[in-house]
Chain A
Amino acid sequence: MNDAANQAMDATQYLTVNLANEEYGVDILAVREIRGWTPVTRIPQAPSYVLGVLNLRGAIVPVLDLRLRFGLVREEYTATTVTVIVTVAGKNFGVVVDAVSDVVDVDAAAIRPVPDMGTAVDTEYLKGLTSVGERMVLLLDVDRLLQPQDAQMLEAALPALADVKAVA
């Protein structure tokens, strides 16, 4: 009983997704829903990896492409391409990945730091890696995918205040 409880407390469920032949894990508590990929409405002044916005039952939700976020090339959107809607700090956004794969239990003790592997992926967005059987799963730090880097970009994109001062 006690062991089971402890295990339940230390293990976290992750949704695994495929991206460029690697497997990434997203904390399942952050996942709100999974939708087939649909075209979105492009928004001006957005970083290139923000594809645009979509209608999530009446709410306007931004969508980012994880390939583009990681500096990879998006060749095409296929039948398996999905948009994973996640909630971070009360805000929703969609993450486009090549496919969803699995739901796995990951023990906190089994999470190892990410070594500088020389992969194309910036380790900044990863909180660790773990093994599930033979497979290696990179655990995404969803909190950092859209923020706060974008907040800085927002400042850069909006010259409003500085300009007003210049005129005054």
Chain B
Amino acid sequence: MARILAVDDSASMRSMVAFTLRGAGHDVEEAENGQLAVDAAKGRKFDLVLADVNMPVMDGIAMVRELRSLAEYKGVPILMLTTESHPERKQEGKAAGATGWLVKPFDPDQLLATVGRVLG
């Protein structure tokens, strides 16, 4: 079981991600934008952060930069949930320090496979 932070401004996507991961036995916390994710991450150490890129208040890229500036998040895996139509966002995410990405649309099986890949 891992502690996972799921970040997406879309409630349906967030619930889908959280529900799927909880079903696999993980402890999932949700945040609806980058700022709230950073706040949550400061309060508790997560083993993995999954974040959408486009979000109001603070987007996913800025969130990765913020998290990487925190001592306890230097090496924590952060996956961006990107869309196929914006391949350049992957590189932006990587440049900011993201571990990798999962391309939308994905189904619960793909999500679990990718999470399994990071958590090993």
Do A and B share a direct contact in the complex (Cβ within 8 angstroms)? no
